[in-house]
Amino acid sequence: MKFLMAAVMVFAAAGAPAAPTFTGTITDSMCEKADHSGMKMGPTDAECARACNEEHDAAFVLYDGKKAYALSDQKTPAAFAGRTVTVTGTLDAKTNTIRVESIVASRSSNP
């Protein structure tokens, strides 16, 4: 009986759809297109995004090259500011917000 229950749980987990992923650059809502040349809040894009977040209450966003998405998690993105990442989560199309499950640096991302 235990084997049957374990097998059912494994198959149920395997059949569960994976959460969508989104790849782009972590930036801030004041510089949504990841172009920080106008703000000059720091010498690098990462420093500018963090400064805009800390000093101007700008939210961290994910910019995919075409569109910026709000992120439900505002703590984790700080470590990835200015970097290319993959965000796993679900998109609320009404609010354009990704409900973040995880954020990881993309392989092509600069440290």
What pLDDT score was predicted for residue 111?
Answer: 53
Structural domain contains residue 90 = yes
pLDDT digits (tens, 9 = 90+) for 19-34: 899 999 999 998 877 7
Structural domain contains residue 5 = no
Identify the CATH number of the domain in which residue 55 sits.
2.40.50
Structural domain contains residue 35 = yes
Question: How much is the average pLDDT of 87-99?
Answer: 97
Structural domain contains residue 37 = yes
Structural domain contains residue 14 = no
Structural domain contains residue 50 = yes
Domain count along the chain:
1
Task: Look at 12 and 35; give whichever has higher pLDDT.
Answer: 35
In order of 27, 49, 96, 110, the CA distances from 39 in angstroms are 12, 9, 24, 21
* Boundaries of domain holding 92: 19-105
| String of DSSP letters for 57-95 | -PPEEEE-SS-EEEES-SSGGGGGTTSEEEEEEEEETTT
